[in-house]
Amino acid sequence: MCHDWHRGWAECRGRPLALTGGTGPAYGESGGSAMADTIRYQVSDNVAQITLDDGKVNAMALAFFEGLNAALDRAERERPGAVVIAGRAGVFSAGLDLKLLPTLPPPALARTMVAFGRIMLRVFTFPIPTVAAVTGHAIAGGAMLAFACDLRFMAEGPFRLHLNEVAIGLALPTWAIVLAQAAIPPRRHTEAILHARAFSPEEAFERHIVHGVARPAEQVVEEARAAAAPLAALDQTAYAISKSRHRAMVVKWAVEQLEAEIGALPSRATIK
């Protein structure tokens, strides 16, 4: 059965599954154009690089999702061989903007959280190979974005890769658990997902959560791009279809739960 709310399961139309972007009401609030300017897109050697840099901690809100969707839209139009998603030096992303969220009226909060799930699942199902250059801290939503990518390389340093939701009293949505389970080896699921364990770059590498640690840290984008190069040589059609089929069942499950779980969000006062 097709699901119209995210423009349909592409498999229903005989194409690889993908969650596409959008610039409707759910994406056009909270200063979208200003935030979109902080997400840069460039291509060289058949690898597109999406760089997140708001000058702070790359906090996520509707405008962030709008900018990332626009960058992914461009990649789908231009069809580079692979995509690298990088942060700014010292910070990949600290996750959702927890200063803004408690100020939002309930409908805007719900739209933000639905957009959050949609964009993360879009990265997870993206028909082009993706590599995360984790340039520093990747906390909560930042960790989810890294987990949504096919490969992850992390900068050395005093940084954390951390799903901290349970520690701060928030239940992880099904879609976030799907991303974490895909990126984290099964024997590490309990400590990472349920026990909210924070990992240093070296610990994440030892546990096979990231595929490499860049030394020095400034080399992380170059290492991610080097890993993306052989992926760019793969047959794109075969890759997209295989990725869609590989992840279709868990994504279908996550999408079916997304809006119901948003309806069970805690009150704004509890989001801190």
Q: Active-site residues: which are they?
A: 165
Residue 204 burial class via C-beta count within 10 angstroms: exposed 0-12, middle 13-18, buried 19 and up:
buried
Nearest to 99 by CA among 148, 146, 130, 61: 61
Three-state SS for 90?
A: strand
3-state secondary structure 228-255: HHHHHCCCHHHHHHHHHHHHHHHHHHHH
Separation between Cα atoms, residue 152 and residue 58, nearest integer Å: 18
Three-state SS for 29?
A: coil
What are the structure tokens assigned to 75, written together? 């990649």
CA angle 69, 71, 73 (to 5 degrees): 65
Integer-rounded Cα radius of gyration of the chain: 17
What are the structure tokens assigned to 62, written together? 């509707």
Nearest to 143 by CA among 158, 122, 156, 159: 159
Separation between Cα atoms, residue 200 and residue 253, nearest integer Å: 31
CA angle 262, 39, 98 (to 5 degrees): 40
Separation between Cα atoms, residue 265 and residue 175, nearest integer Å: 14
